[in-house]
Structure 1
Amino acid sequence: MFHALIHRPALTQAQHRALPQVSNTDLSILKQELLGQLRRLNPLALAYGSHFHAAVLEPATYARTEERGIKWADLETLARQVRRQRYCRDLLYRGQAEQSYTSTHIATGVGVKLRPDLLVRSRAGRQLTLIDFKTTSSPDCAHFLTTVEKYDYDRQAALYLDVLGATRFLIIGVQKKVPHEVWRVELTATPGLIEQGRKKYSTLLRHHARQAAGLSIPFSMPAPLALAA
């Protein structure tokens, strides 16, 4: 599905974003354009997410800035909630955080880039698990599961798994409001979900390639699956 994988371990987040390859976020923007749902990314939400990930994944690099609108105390509370969880502590101890990769989609020739939050290789080296940390306003885990397809987390999981040849994709959902629960959701455990995500990213990469060539084709996405808690 992909070839020419390149690990770029020294890149900063800003340098990663400046790479010319297509990211999962770029695919989300393309999908919105194709559906006529043009929405600008919320810069405050992006900044909050970046700072939260720094506080969780690379606490030595975390520092408050002069950016307005960010509730720093709340962000730090969520980060502490994650880091005090035994399971998360083990992942953070064993994993590699914020590593950049580029690759090429064989079928379309489109270059892609990705930067998983955390990669954890099993002690025997046979299994590679990708972990993504997401804050959420969901009141419970069941409601959080309904956001998996709404926000195309299945597409992100499939893309990352296929590019890196990984075996598992976990989401750590962190509840923004009290009681700040932390939920573990393994997307690779849901039958059909990764295949659905694979169809999504393949469709969008084909559209990207044809747009670059000045062509167009009708657009439709796979019907969603029903997820259970």
Structure 2
Amino acid sequence: MFHDLTSYPGLTQEQHRALPHVSNTDLSDLKAQVLGQLRRPNPQALAFGSHFHAATLEPATYARTDERGIKWADLEMLARQVRRQRYCRDLLYRGAAELTHTATHTATGVQVKIRPDLLVRSPAGRRTTLIDFKTTSCPDLPHFLASAEQYDYDRQAALYLDTLGATRFLIIGVQKKDPHQLWVVDATAAPGFIEQGRKKYAALLRRHAKCATSSFLSATQAIPADKT
């Protein structure tokens, strides 16, 4: 499904965003455009999630900023809770955090980029597990599972799995409000979840390729002919 897989050890989040490849977020923007929707992510929620990931995955890089509206004490408490939880602590110890990869989607030629929160390989190298942490305001696990389709977690899971040829994708929900529960969801074990996500990303990559081709042809036609 994908080829030319390349990893970029040491690439920062800013450098990752600067890569010209298509990300899962870009696919969300394209989906909104196709549906005629105005996508307005909550900037405070995005900032909270970004800083939470830094505090959890790369605590050495974490520092408070002067951004307003972020409850830093709550964020840091959640990060500590995740890092102290036995299962998560083991994953964090064994996993490679925030490692950028790029690859080419074979069917469309679209170049994509992904950055799993954690990548854990088995000792023998035969099994690759990807882990993604999601902070959530959902009151319980059933509501969190119901939100998976709304936020296209299935598409992200399928895209990441297929790009890396990984075998397992875990979503760890981190409840922002009391009682601050952690929910570990094996996306690859949910019937039809990955298959549905695969259809989603494939359709959007085809749309992206079509749009890119149309834009290229329009630009080419607009170039005046050389009359010399």
- Normalised to the residue count of structure 2, the TM-score between the two structures is 0.92
Q: Which residue of 2 aligns with 1:14?
A: 14
User: C-alpha separation between the residues in 2 aligned to 1:174 and 1:64?
Assistant: 20
Superposed displacement of residue 48, structure 1: 1.2
Query: Is 1:67 matched with 2:67?
Result: yes
Matches within 5 A, 1:19-168: 19-168=19-168
User: C-alpha separation between the residues in 1 aligned to 2:7 and 2:124?
Assistant: 21
**Cα deviation 1:138-163 (Å, max 9, x = unaligned):** 10011100011110000000000000
**Cα deviation 1:166-223 (Å, max 9, x = unaligned):** 00000010000011000000000012111110000000000001011128xxxxxxxx
Q: Which residue of 2 aligns with 1:4?
A: 4
Matches within 5 A, 1:186-201: 186-201=186-201
Superposed displacement of residue 81, structure 1: 1.3
**Cα deviation 1:75-123 (Å, max 9, x = unaligned):** 0111111111100000000000000010000111100000000001112
Superposed displacement of residue 136, structure 1: 0.4
Q: Which residue of 2 aligns with 1:169?
A: 169
- Using the TM superposition, name which of 82-91 and 40-49 deviates more: 40-49
Amino acid across the alignment from 2:148: V
More helix by share: 2
**Cα deviation 1:61-85 (Å, max 9, x = unaligned):** 1111111111101101111111111
User: C-alpha separation between the residues in 1 aligned to 2:122 and 2:140?
Assistant: 30
User: C-alpha separation between the residues in 1 aligned to 2:6 and 2:124?
Assistant: 23
Superposed displacement of residue 44, structure 1: 2.0
Superposed CA RMSD: 0.9
- Normalised to the residue count of structure 1, the TM-score between the two structures is 0.92
Superposed displacement of residue 39, structure 1: 1.7
Percent of aligned positions that are identical: 76
User: C-alpha separation between the residues in 2 aligned to 1:61 and 1:19?
Assistant: 21
Deviant stretches of 4+, over 6 Å: none
Q: Which runs of 5+ in 1 are unaligned?
A: 216-229
Amino acid across the alignment from 1:73: A
SS at match of 1:146: helix
SS at match of 2:214: coil
Structure number with bigger Rg: 2
Amino acid across the alignment from 2:47: A
Amino acid across the alignment from 1:7: S
Number of residue pairs aligned between Structure 1 and Structure 2: 215
Amino acid across the alignment from 1:5: L
